[in-house]
A and B are shown apart, each in its own frame.
Chain A
């Protein structure tokens, strides 16, 4: 009798064939399968079952061990056995004070890291009293115009003791500057600060569409953040290269990872061009992926992502340090999968997705609130979401074994399929002229729009079941949900502080610093962070800085593809 290490493939193949012809056939005669063919949500065909035949050609080194190249099984050798993933529920609304309260509540409920969401004006670079900000101040996130707002946001929160993530993109460098200026004022050691800004501008042009300037100066800003942090903030992740938004914009899981890798490679190339050694900055590049609904596909996806990144860093960029090659990611459950009808079902969806994220080895996790389809979350929704993670961590024991699904015939096979396809796409991007060229041509966007359209049609005809929407629909459902209310005094309170800052600062100094900013901006080789830190410390508003730079860089206009 052969044991696992002595399997004879021919023998096994025969056994499989026999099984299909006898047991399976007999069953099919009595009851056919639900579909003629089965696929993952990403369109990968899946078999009835998988055997050693499906993994026999996978190099054993590709699977490896946790904390060892190529990190398929996890970036660290002890993973959650040492420390659980960070439970990092995003928060942000109103003014700095309002969000500060929510931060404190979440910490009291066991949250282990902070994550900040900003309002549209802050995300897009407008001061709260700009005409474009009308109706949007403090609505979908916290309003930050000046350093004074940051002070309110982090009141009584020790930045040296808790990691802070800021979900901000075109204006990331300004928020980072404010964060640094605040830390400096408090006498914090910059090298002790742990946290991240999302700052991934390329995915904005592709998916989320939060951008200000054209591509080139925007990438330069990201490059500056990366090099500045490499030299001044040892524990800080200056970027979260993201696939989440690409997926939410409608892409398949495969494209989510492949396009993220294309963007990541571009950033590394840009920084390497400055002459900085890859091992100096790569350790602090972090990623952000979605966890979508197809349970095993997502786990395979994460494992493939780690393997792909390790190989890219080693083979393409010659990285030597383990830290440069091991992919670490924050994860968020899929907002696009949540529904308005029978919204409590969202809790179950989120639970299963969170479990996949944990089994897939995420370093940090945000679980969505059940009220996601209605508004930004209430405290109650966030508490339940947090408890979801806590149940997984404390009651299921899944965190006690690292990469417990490693070795699964199905999972290893799917992981390798994903890896292969990701590299194929990256090759295609290279052949067609590179990431930035393809962004300008709308290549990524077209793929996303196509999958989004197909998904909409599948939902429409029921091919993609969504409980409450096209299956088990409750016609007379009455909405009984209490959503997070928007405080109508927010804009006034915010603008009041903004005007106060403008009135009490040294405007001549601001003017002079803004001119200096232009000089730095015009010189490609200079780093934009120091002057920005000076500016925010002197009381410059976000709008001051953004508008000044608009005079030389202009505004990006997209050519949409459908």
Chain B
């Protein structure tokens, strides 16, 4: 029996849009994954603490407030500080096209933005974990 993929879904900052993250939570559960949702209005510190304790395979950050270029660098740095760089970080929500490459350069593995279907999200996350291999 293979181990289920563990995912932390995080809402960071003041953004209260949770329609998408909740649909994703349900989708991932229905795909056999273990999902932990942080709830709204979390800080990068709280989220990374949780990601480390839960030793999640994937940290999914949902952002629709435009604050991704402030929040993501903080998260990536904190993961590094806590010796958790092997956590796969993905970003969902609303991100302008010109920020995609900078985000990837700072270590975000995938952007799963509007119009990504539930099926695609599952497929891409499973692929990322497969490619990472055992740890």
Contacts and interface: CB of A to CB of B under 8 A. Distances in A.
Question: Is the interface on chain A under 10, 10 to 19, 20 to 34, or 35 or more residues?
Answer: 35 or more
Interface in B59-97: 65-67, 69-71, 94, 96-97
Interface string A399-411: 0000000000000
Interface in A102-143: 120-121, 123-124, 126, 131-136, 139-140
A460 interface: yes
Instruction: Tell me if A's interface is mostly helix, strand, loop or mixed.
Output: loop
Contact of B23 (A132, A452, A557): A452
Contact of A562 (B22, B66, B67, B71): B22
A340 B113 CA distance: 10
B115 A132 contact: no
B117 interface: yes
A486 B119 CA distance: 33
A325 B75 CA distance: 52
Contact of B67 (A139, A208, A250, A456): A139
Interface stretch (B10-18, B47-55, B102-110, B126-134): B10-18
Interface in A444-476: 448-449, 452-453, 456-457, 459-460, 469
Contact of B14 (A136, A469, A557): A136
A70 to B, nearest CB: 33
B19 A249 contact: yes
Interface string B30-55: 00000001011101000000000000
B29 to A, nearest CB: 8
B22 A457 contact: no
A483 interface: yes
A452 B22 contact: yes
Nearest to B37: A560
A208 B97 contact: no
A135 B69 contact: yes
Contacts, number: 93
Nearest to B40: A209
A483 B16 CA distance: 23
Contacts of B19: 248-250, 448, 452
B13 A136 contact: yes
A250 B39 CA distance: 18
A531 interface: no
B18 A486 contact: no
B118 A557 contact: no
Given A139-B66, A479-B97, A562-B25, A126 B14 contact: yes
A460 B69 CA distance: 29
Interface string A496-527: 00000000000000000000000000000000
Q: Which has the most chain B C-beta neighbours within 10 Å: A121, A208, A250, A560?
A: A560
A17 interface: no
B3 to A, nearest CB: 22
B124 interface: no
B2 interface: no
Instruction: Tell me if B's interface is mostly helix, strand, loop or mixed.
Output: loop
A374 B93 CA distance: 11
B23 A121 contact: no
Nearest to A456: B23
Contact of A136 (B29, B67, B114): B67
A120 B14 contact: yes
A479 B119 CA distance: 25
A560 B71 contact: no
A453 B118 CA distance: 10
Contact of A210 (B16, B96, B115): B16
Nearest to B68: A135
B8 to A, nearest CB: 14
A374 B65 contact: no
Given A120-B14, A562-B22, A136 B65 contact: yes
Contacts of A486: 66
A560 B66 contact: no
Given A139-B65, A452-B22, A483-B96, A132 B114 contact: no
B14 A121 contact: yes
Q: Which has the most chain B C-beta neighbours within 10 Å: A339, A452, A479?
A: A452
Interface in A418-452: 448-449, 452
A140 B13 CA distance: 13
A557 B39 contact: yes
B14 A132 contact: yes
B22 A560 contact: yes
A134 B113 CA distance: 23
A460 B96 CA distance: 23
A451 to B, nearest CB: 10
A38 B94 CA distance: 33
Given A135-B67, A136-B67, A339-B115, 13 more contacts: A120-B67, A121-B14, A124-B41, A132-B13, A132-B14, A133-B14, A136-B14, A136-B66, A448-B19, A449-B23, A452-B19, A557-B39, A562-B25
Interface of A: 120-121, 123-124, 126, 131-136, 139-140, 208-210, 248-250, 339-341, 373-375, 448-449, 452-453, 456-457, 459-460, 469, 479, 483, 486, 557-558, 560, 562
